[in-house]
Structure 1
Amino acid sequence: MADRPEVEISYDLERIDFERTSELIRASYWGEKRTDAINRRAFDHSACAAAFIDGQQVGFARAMTDYACFAYLCDVIVWPDKRGAGIGKKLVQAMLDHPDLAGIPAFSLRTSDAHSFYEAFGFEVSRDGMYMRFVR
């Protein structure tokens, strides 16, 4: 098996390729009704992480949070041609370990198709089958 490329995680919003990230989110089932303006505002008011390989962005994740008690993980997305290389796992772990979020006792998220992916981090399915919660 070939070695996986080194993935760098950055929490610096200035490094994010906003246009490409917004484009991919708008193409997703959860972000199809958003505009660039909505995504810009969401990114600016959230904790964000981006994944890079050789200086090129290949993924993104963010958490809506009060930075004290609660965080809602969302917009976890990996560029289509880079999927399957563990980048999504690195992004989720980076959000759980984010310096401003590491002390938060509870994370939530919503998914319709990635339950087993998030269960590997300790998230559990709620009764409605879509919401999941991670409790430290």
Structure 2
Amino acid sequence: MTTTTSGPPCDDAYEIDTDPDRIDIGLVHHWLSTDAFWALGRSRDLVERSMRASLNFGVYDGGGTQVAYARVVTDRATFAWLCDVYVDPAHRGRGLGVRLATAVRDHLAPYELKRTLLATPDAHELYARVGFTPVPDPTMLMMLGPAT
């Protein structure tokens, strides 16, 4: 999947692609492990393993440099989890987060998934523009985390 983004105007043309060979693993690891509060300190091995088991989306500027990333964990039948969404600070404020989430939504649409989830402490408005809504009954959700 390669798509030129649409949506709000921005300074340059951006391309969103799911080709795993285009993903700059070192750059994604750097972003996540040093700047993404949810993944600080994440090892390169863990980033690589998570990417191998996921559908990955890269955003590239007009020169082909990767400027954003998102990962989707999915069975491509009933469920997906959107995670590790990151836009390089130099490219923020141009609508790339919405464009990236829209590309994910549109890419997953043919699978007719029952549910696509994400977790965010501060970007509810961004994801709402793409169609995400709060979980109707969060008391139904449970999680299994690390042993304490």
TM range (shorter): 0.7 to 0.9
Q: Which has the larger radius of gyration?
A: 2
Q: Secondary structure at the match of 2:59?
A: strand
What does the per-residue CA deviation read over 1:93-135, in whole Å, with 9 as the maximum and x for residues that have no partner? 111122xx2222321000111111111112112355xx9xxxx
State the TM-score, normalized to the length of structure 1: 0.86
Shift of 1:4: 2.5
Q: Secondary structure at the match of 2:131?
A: coil
Q: Secondary structure at the match of 1:81?
A: helix
The equivalent of 2:116 in structure 1 is 107
Whichever structure has more strand as a proportion of its residues is: 1
Shift of 1:32: 1.1
Structure 2 segments unaligned to the other structure (5+ residues): 1-8, 142-148
Structure 1 segments unaligned to the other structure (5+ residues): 132-136
1:125 aligned onto 2:138: no
- Identical pairs, percent: 35
What does the per-residue CA deviation read over 1:36-78, in whole Å, with 9 as the maximum and x for residues that have no partner? 1111010110011100012111100111111110000001110
Give the number of equivalent residue pairs.
126
Structure-2 separation of matches of 1:125 and 1:4? 32
The equivalent of 1:41 in structure 2 is 49
The equivalent of 1:24 in structure 2 is 31
The equivalent of 1:61 in structure 2 is 70
Amino acid at match of 1:17: D
Amino acid at match of 2:97: G
